[in-house]
Structure 1
Amino acid sequence: MDRRDLVRSLRWVGSRDGWRAVRAAWRRHRIDARDLPGGGAQRARVPGTACGAEALPGGGVVWFAQSSLRVRVAVGGAVFCGWDGAAPEPSYALAGECPAADTRAVLEPDKDGWRVVSERITVVVFRNGAVEFRTPGGVLLRRELPPRWWDGPGRASCWVQRARTPADAVVFGLGGRSSGPGLPAGSYRLWNTDPCAAFGPGDDPLYITMPVQFVVADGGCHLVFHDNTWDGRVSLRDGEEGAGSGHDQLGGCEVRFEGGPLRYWVMAGSPGRVLGTWTALTGRPALPPRWALGYQHARWGFGSAEEVRRVAAGYRERGMPVSALHLDIDHLDGHRIFTVDRDAFPELPVLAAELREHGTRLVSIVDPAVKAEPGLAVYDSGTAADAFVRDARGQVVRGVVWPGETVFPDFTEPRVRRWWGGLYAERLQQGFAGFWHDMNEPTSFTAFARYGEATLPRSARHSLEGRGGDHREAHNVYGLAMARAGYEALRELLPGQRPFFFSRSGWAGMQRYGGTWSGDVATGWPGLRASLALVLGLGLCGVPYSGPDVGGFHAVPSPELFVRWWQLAAYLPFFRSHSAIDGGRREPWEFGPRAEECVRAALAERVRLLPYLYTLAHLAHRTGAPYVRPLWWYEPDDRRLRSGGDAFLLGKALLVAPVLEQGATARAVRLPRGRWYDAATEAAHHGGGQVLLDAPLDRTPVLVRAGAVLPVAAEGGLLLEVWAPAPGQTGSGVVITDEGDGWEPPRVERFTSRWEHGAVVVEREGADEVGYPVRVRGLRPG
């Protein structure tokens, strides 16, 4: 904590809310000291020597002296491993029931123990409890060493599992991490955390942590997911290439949890196949309504309906379309959820209707904490429904959040989710079209938060779908369960419309309910770089719809920084500017005429690309492939591409090279193989090497893959922008369209591009006519 933060904390502690937080922190400490199991002797345990095996559908069980391992290959290719009798279910990550076993996979004896051979992975179980995962060709993907447990009377069983991967392997994922996107060696905590301050590269943990590792190496890609919601830690160690032979050349990973089952899933293949398998298991990403791919503006501190009207009018006067305006906690009555400050927003439904006439929706913030105030409708109904989290002695747990002393719904109880979901009817009556879940790690303020946990007592009791447990197990899935409550309610309240949710916190599987954003990223060039790392990492965890607060959250960006941040965000799925109440305005005209001009150009390009982005949204929903992909997505065996994280692919067609350094007017980028065209100049570049691209303040360097058939918006409708294939090559593209916000089946059209008699021609699969106007680009010599 720097001196400025310390002074701010001291002042806050002296305030009324500060003293409440001090008392809440003391209560939390006292409750945990009273109700959590105490220390005591713990006994270490390892599996011991194998003593037999039993074949079962999809694999089988190997019995050891002190444990057992179940290996089960599921239909679709994912491999489940469960120690000590752990089963795939119950699980908050899985979408619906666990997939059936692939009966073609059989457990059979092997010279080292036993093996299970499947279409995509061969699993070898050694007699000492080690497990190897190999490609069908025999290339090592991952070697798990025998796990170790620490058991004690009345305590959860802690465990650690170490693994080795090829020396060249790079690990991505683990949720929303500000380092990366390739994660450097170090330790990463698995505990969703509000940092209670602006964050930048290296700050960890943040709001969304997931035990999901996406591992990329020369020999192949794999994803490993430890299905455990408890507090844990993943430690990564660099490989020691050249240090020796055999396993000495392997990198390292250690996974440690404070309790819960030792169970995990492994899936392998190309990046697209891995994420396809992963999202088939945990749920395909929700398809946002088409308007949610437009630009959205938020501010903590609009203060009044008239200020909202003023900002909306400012965008309209400048010809800058805004798809949504977001109202933060200041529109609520005393920060109480599901209320409205009637003095500042006297006729909110009227305001929503006015904005809707101009194509702008209203989005409402929703926090989970309910003010503990008898007479408040939400509190009274929640009390009557016995909806709030209690401690081990049956007392309702209280904390401190924006409205003061608060209580917290237990979203792990189905009837509480139904009660909570019914509250969104009030938001719909106010005219809101989408919802923004905040403070749902969950956060409860504490004094000097960096030195204590700003959440509920670890001993607080939760339903956990009727199984019963405490906050140590429920904490990481609290935001996920809250998103489920809202999403399922909106499906009933508005059955003909796709819900729009994004959540600050979540866990594996959150993509099936909506997306997320960066949270309180620091204003500054490091914060800009962290924004891209977060989006790329989350995409590789199966959460494709995300983006940062443009400009950073807490401070006023320089005009140059604001422009570069806006230019990056214009190519990301969730495009929103946002700031703290003391962080300055984010309207583009506040940064001067030059900045406004640059922002206008970036927004115009975003609008032009909306048909392409909407197609990517549908592809993500169908296959799990993220909109924003690392440069190595189609060439994971290229180590040079794996080492770069400051540029990205937007779908297959575009390569975006944002400017992330102050004062830069050019930047280098390493290109994937093939021919690429500069989108501004149409100059051709040959892939496989590094190029230097001009990056004046008024544009972001963007390259287009040769042969791409790109759907873009044009006057009168949709236009196919076709970029000339390389000589002797063909290209392709897809267009997916629907009504924009409902559930009707979309229209899918596939196109190919090729040279014929010295000209570029385009054909639509299964049709004689293309059906759209075509513009051919990339015909310059060279």
Structure 2
Amino acid sequence: MDRRDLVRSLRLVGSRNGWPAVRAAWRRRRIDARDLPARGAERARVPGAAYSAEPLPGGGVVRFAQSSLRVRVAVGGAVFCGWDGAAPEPSYALAGECPEADTRAVLEPDKDGWRVVSERITVVVFRHGAVEFRTPGGVPLRRELPPRWWDGSGRVSRWVQRARTPADAVVFGLGGRASGPRLATGAYRLWNTDPCAPFGPGDDPLYITMPVQFVVADGGCHLVFHDNTWDGWVCLRDGEEGAGSGHDQPGGCEVRFEGGPLRYWVMAGSPGRVLGTWTALTGRPALPPRWALGYQHARWGFGSAQEVRRVAAGYRERGMPVSALHLDIDHFDGHRVFTVDREAFPELPLLAEELREDGIQLVSIVDPAVKAEPGSAVYDSGTAADAFVRDALGQVVRGLVWPGETVFPDFTEPRVRRWWGGLYAERLEQGFAGFWHDMNEPTSFTVFARYGESTLPDSARHGMEGRGGDHREAHNVYGLAMARAGYEALRELRPDRRPFLFSRSGWAGMQRYGGTWSGDVATGWPGLRASLALVLGLGLCGVPYSGPDVGGFHAMPSPELYVRWWQLSAYLPFFRTHSAIEGGRREPWEFGPQAEECVRVALAERVRLLPYLYTLAHLAQRTGAPYVRPLWWHDPEDRRLRACGDAFLLGDALLVAPVVEQGATTRTVRLPPGRWYDAATGAVHRGPGQVLLAAPLDRTPVLVRAGAVLPVAVEDGIGLEVWAPAAGQSGEGVLISDEGDGWDQPRVERFASRWRDGAVVVEREGADEVGHPVRVRGLAHNPS
């Protein structure tokens, strides 16, 4: 037991839920001891020597003495590898059916064994089970060593697979990791976990873990995804570079799973192409309604409709636009999901209508745990539908969450998803426009690690789409399946509107249902840095819509920290303040006049950039490219850019360098190649290189790429802010717009900027007129 778990457990024991938590922990331990088979004698095996190969569409099967390997190149370029007969399906990650095989890829003999040559990757299968992935030019990207299994009588096999990567390779991803975005040497657990306390960069794992590695090296980028939902570990090892002396030691990783299939996908290319292939496989990101890109305010502890009105009026009176207010568990009746505290919120639909008239949407929290209370409508209907998770003896599993003793829907059963989805009709009748899934790792309070983790028993039974299984397999996809239930229900209940939901927990493919947020990030400068790491890392796993709780969750930030957190979040996709019931208020006017004015400036810039952000949302939905991108996005071979984790690109046009150090009034920024303008002063900087920028408290350093055509909000609609291209060069931009909701085909406008006769001109593709007011900037710093 680590110190953090001890402190958390002692605090819980001393709370009103203390003894119920002790009882729940004991019950969880007893169920697992009774229902999980004991680990007996195990036999280790490796593939052994290959003895035959069979060509099949897209690749083929290589048979070894003690296993077999299926290699299959899919249309789109992703390569599937499955050992021991593992197939691409069934899979919670894939969007729809598995893509068809690319029949141009053929398994053929090779001097080392066999090879499959495709457009983007060459796969070499060696005679003793190693598998190497190479670029079309023959540069090694990844070499998987022969795997090893441990087979036990009457129980699942656990396995380990080691891989080697180039010495200069760096790894990103693995879901939401606070210590990123570049992942250091060490072990990372693949088990969605509620830390039950504020977290910072040293805390791992967190709410969203994914077996998705985005690997960047001089020779090229690739993504590897182990399609396995069981508990596991990824252990990363850095390479040792010998400065070209011929003594470079490869880096690599070791992947371990406690059960489940040994199957994985590999895709390679530029960062944009890799994520395009990945999201084509697992689902394009859901497009949020336009209002969901505005500023949103939440608090655990609004307490009453009167307080919600007071906060909304405070923003309105100060001329600070807020697009949504979020109600936490305190608006429920006794914390029971899909209920309303009628004393505190006597006419919730009326409140929602008042807010809508002011341009503010109402968002509801939704927890999966249902209070085990006969007579309660949700519990009774769930019991009638046989919707709740049971143990091996057929008894409904009980846990402990905010309402008290609770039961948990089994979202891995289609019929349960349909039952649960029907409950959202009540939320829509109350006037809610969006939904916030919480506590869905799933969390059940417990004490002391030796009694088990804060979730359901490992032996709890799940439907797993009719296949059957236990919580060891279902745990990591519980939040994903809950998001699916909500998303599909909202598509049916409100077919004319795009669903808006975001989830604290999830797994590979969660982007097709919505986004996520940081969870309970610690209030402090380390928490601020962790916030950016989470957004960047999740974007490289295919989840582009995310953001932190501004100010941190549990404590009151200083005015300086609050301002800097606001300034960072104003450039992130999901922009929300939020706090715990004991964490203090998060309204800007609570932090003094100077902080309020700084926040006003940041909020005004967010509003101005909404057309650009909405365009990035559409581009993410079409291509999988995240809104927030690492500095190396267009230059992955630049090792210095790969080391930068405290600045980012917002789309292709903007470079944002947030202040993440206390007391700092300047920022050192490493620039990608090209000409960059300081958005505040117009000063010109040239990359690659490093520059020092002024960062007073009222400003975040932002640079704009020369030639960028940036769609921005102006008084009469949408205008174009054009930054002069370098002499003899041109620039570009795109604007994608629609009604802000619904499913109508959006309008796509493409623009080009260039010098002509000593002036900067803008042209719209396929049209004689630009169609928008244009403002050219950067001319004062161009000699021409």
Task: Give your verdict on TM over 0.5.
Answer: yes
Within-5 A mapping of 1:379-778: 379-448=379-448, 452-778=452-778
1:244 deviates by: 9.3
**Is the 8 Å Cα contact of residues 444 and 456 (structure 1) preserved in structure 2?**
yes
The CA deviation string for residues 521-549 of structure 1, in whole angstroms up to 9 with x for no partner, is: 00000000000000000000000000000
1:256-299 deviations in whole A, cap 9, x for unaligned?
00000000000000000000000000000000000000000000
How far apart in 2 are the matches of 1:246 and 1:79? 31
Contact 1:243 1:249 in 2 (8 A): no
Alignment check: 8 A CA contact 1:167 1:240 kept:
yes
Tell me which amino acid in the other structure corresponds to 2:350: V
Instruction: Give secondary structure in 2 for the equivalent of 1:432.
Output: coil
SS in structure 1 of the partner of residue 466 of structure 2 = coil
How far is 1:4 from its partner?
Answer: 9.8
- Contact (CA 8 Å) 1:188, 1:205: kept in 2 or not? yes
Match of 2:169 in 1: 169
How far apart in 2 are the matches of 1:696 and 1:265? 46
Report what 1:269 is aligned to.
Answer: 269
Instruction: Kindly indicate whether the alpha-carbon contact (under 8 Å) linking 2:302 and 2:327 is maintained by their aligned counterparts in 1.
Output: yes
Contact 1:196 1:450 in 2 (8 A): no
Q: How does 1:136-285 map to 2 (within 5 A)?
A: 136-242=136-242, 249-285=249-285
Contact 1:81/1:264 (8 A) holds in 2: yes
TM-superposed deviation, 1:585: 0.3
Structure 2 gaps of 5+ residues are: none
TM superposition shift of 1:249: 2.3
Aligned residue runs from structure 1 range 8-157, under 5 A:
9-10=9-10, 12-157=12-157
Change (3 A) 1:99 1:8: closer
SS at match of 1:580: coil
Rounded to whole Å, the distance in 1 between the matches of 2:243 and 2:321 is 57
How many aligned residue pairs are there? 782
Native 8 Å contact 1:196 1:449 kept in 2: no
Residue type of the alignment partner of 1:301: G
Say whether the 8 Å CA contact 2:8–2:197 is kept in structure 1: no
8 Å CA contact 2:326–2:362 kept in 1: the answer is yes
- Pick closer, same or farther for the CA change 1:234–1:451 going to 2, 3 Å: farther
Deviations 1:196-252 (A, max 9, x none): 000000210000000000000000000000000000000000102129987962102
Distance 1:9 1:202 in 2: 19
Residue type of the alignment partner of 2:415: R
In structure 1, C-alpha distance between the alignment counterparts of 2:515 and 2:427, rounded to whole Å: 20
Distance in 1, Cα, partners of 2:539 & 2:715: 33
Q: Distance in 1 between matches of 2:329 and 2:399?
A: 18
Q: Which amino acid aligns with 1:513?
A: Y
SS in 2 for 1:761: strand
- Deviation of 1:10 after TM superposition, in Å, equals 3.2
Native 8 Å contact 1:589 1:596 kept in 2:
yes
**Helix, strand or coil for the counterpart of 2:29?**
helix
SS of 1:688 mapped into structure 2: strand
Q: 1:149-174: per-residue Cα shift (whole Å, max 9, x none)?
A: 00000111000000000010010000
Which one is further off, 348-357 or 240-249?
240-249
Give the secondary structure class of the aligned counterpart of 2:353.
Answer: helix
Please tell me whether the aligned partners of residues 293 and 613 of structure 1 are also in contact (alpha carbons under 8 angstroms).
Answer: yes
Q: Is the 8 A contact 2:29 2:452 kept in 1?
A: no
SS in 1 for 2:212: strand
| Cα shift at 1:452 | 3.8
Measured after TM superposition, the shift of residue 21 of structure 1 is 1.1
Equivalent residue letter for 2:457: P
Q: Secondary structure at the match of 2:30?
A: helix
Distance 1:15 1:664, change over 3 A: closer
Q: Is the 8 A contact 2:8 2:196 kept in 1?
A: no
CA distance in 2, matches of 1:166, 1:449: 38
Gaps of 5+ in 1: none
CA distance in 1, matches of 2:505, 2:351: 29
CA distance, structure 2, for counterparts of residue 602 and residue 451 of structure 1: 47
Change beyond 3 A, Cα 1:190–1:8: closer
Where do 4+ consecutive residues of structure 1 move more than 6 Å? 1-5, 243-247
Q: Helix, strand or coil for the counterpart of 1:780?
A: helix
Cα distance in 1 for residues equivalent to 2:287 and 2:155: 42
Please give the per-residue CA displacement for 1:586-643, whole angstroms capped at 9, x wherever unaligned.
Answer: 0000000000000000000000000000000000000000000000000000000000
Deviation at 1:14, TM superposition (A): 4.0
What residue identity is the alignment partner of 2:91?
Answer: S
Alpha-carbon distance change, 9 to 124 in structure 1, aligned in 2, over 3 angstroms? closer
| Whole-Å separation in 2 of the counterparts to 1:348 and 1:761 | 52
- State which drifts further: 234-243 or 606-615: 234-243
Whole-Å separation in 1 of the counterparts to 2:706 and 2:455: 51
Distance in 2, matches of 1:308 and 1:83, equals 55
Whether the 8 Å CA contact 2:616–2:627 is kept in 1: the answer is: yes
CA deviation digits over 1:83-117, x for unaligned, max 9? 00000000000000000000000000000000000
Say what the alpha-carbon RMSD is for the aligned residues: 1.3
d(CA) in 2 for partners of 1:661, 1:139 = 40
CA deviation profile, 1:313-338 (whole Å, cap 9, x unmatched): 00000000000000000000000000
Counterpart of 1:344 in structure 2 is 344
Shift of 1:39: 1.8
Distance 1:676 1:243, change over 3 A: closer
C-alpha distance after superposition, 1:376-425 (max 9, x if no partner): 00000000000000000100000000000000000000000000000000
Percent pairwise identity? 88
Q: Structure 2: which amino acid aligns with 1:40?
A: G
TM-score (norm 2): 0.99
Local SS of the residue matching 1:672: strand
Letter paired with 2:219: G
Shift of 1:15: 4.2
What is the CA-CA distance between 1:449 and the residue it aligns to? 6.0
Deviation at 1:448, TM superposition (A): 3.8
Shift of 1:781: 2.7
Give the match's secondary structure for 1:745: coil
Task: Check whether the contact 2:390–2:460 (CA below 8 A) recurs between aligned residues.
Answer: yes
Distance 1:368 1:627 in 2: 30
> Is the alpha carbon distance of 1:153 and 1:305 closer, same or farther for their aligned partners in structure 2, counting shifts above 3 Å?
same
Kept in 2: contact 1:141–1:166 (CA 8 A): yes
* Contact 2:52–2:64 under 8 Å retained in 1: yes
Shift in Å, 1:13:
1.4
**1:684-727, CA deviations, whole angstroms, 9 ceiling, x for partnerless residues?**
10010000000000010000000000000001111100000011
8 Å contact from structure 1 (residues 195, 450) kept in 2: no
